Amino acid sequence: MIAIKEIRNAIVRGLYDYLGLIPIPIEDLQGKEPYPYITYNFISPYTQFRGQGNYQRDLVSSNDERFELDVEETLELQPQATISINAYSKDKLEAQELAKKAMDWFKHVGYQHLYDNNIVVVNIEAFGDRTIHIVDYYEHRIGFDVIVRFTDVIKRRFETIESWDINTEIS
């Protein structure tokens, strides 16, 4: 099974390498980060994508030395996650440029990095102004949502009955 943590780490690492800024989880904001900065939030971390997945059953070497083979069942799924990305600054143009650069990473620059981590971008949505007024100034927030698809493999294993002694005597 793929962990959401692995997806998060791959995206954070890739954005950091490209932007030179560590993306901050939205829930970890302390309100005193120096501008500019970028945040992320997994709005929907695991949404089952169409269908029931691919099912496969194989005979594999047993983990129990008393048996030769076990049965391993594999279910391969391709769920999606929706992630909100926001760039923050006191300067609107700076926030727009940072958000655009992050979007460029998802659209093209980070393709190979994401692919190497079994992640593909499905769609980028809602690129726009999310600015708010904070007491005596505006905090410019420009953001977008990105939908990614990833591979999730779930396995289970069970022992086989390789031989059985049957008592054929009738009592």
User: Could you tell me where the DSSP H helices lie in 68-126?
Assistant: 92-104, 111-116
Is there a domain that residue 170 lies in?
A: no
Domain-embedded: residue 171: no
DSSP class of residue 34 equals P
Total count of domains within the chain: 1
Write out the residue range of the structural domain in which residue 107 sits. 4-159
Residue 27 sits in a domain whose CATH number is: 3.30.2000.30
Assigned domain for 45 exists? yes
The CA-based dihedral angle spanning residues 136, 98, 128, 126, taken in that order and rounded to the nearest 10 degrees: -140
How do residues 47-86 score in pLDDT, each as one tens digit?
A: 987 778 888 999 898 888 888 889 999 999 999 999 999 9
Q: Does residue 167 form part of some domain? A: no
pLDDT of residue 1: 58
The letter for the amino acid at 121 is: V
* Inter-residue contact 31 to 16 (CB < 8 Å): no
Distance in Å from the first CA to the final CA of the chain:
50
Q: 137: which 2 tokens?
A: 């100034």
pLDDT beneath 50, residues of the chain: none
> How high is the pLDDT of residue 158?
87
How many helices (H) and strands (E) the chain has is answered by 3, 9
Residue 21 forms part of a structural domain = yes
**How much is the pLDDT for 140?**
93
At 87, the amino acid letter reads A
Would residue 164 count as lying in a domain? no
**147 falls within a domain:** yes
Beta bridge partners of 132: 139
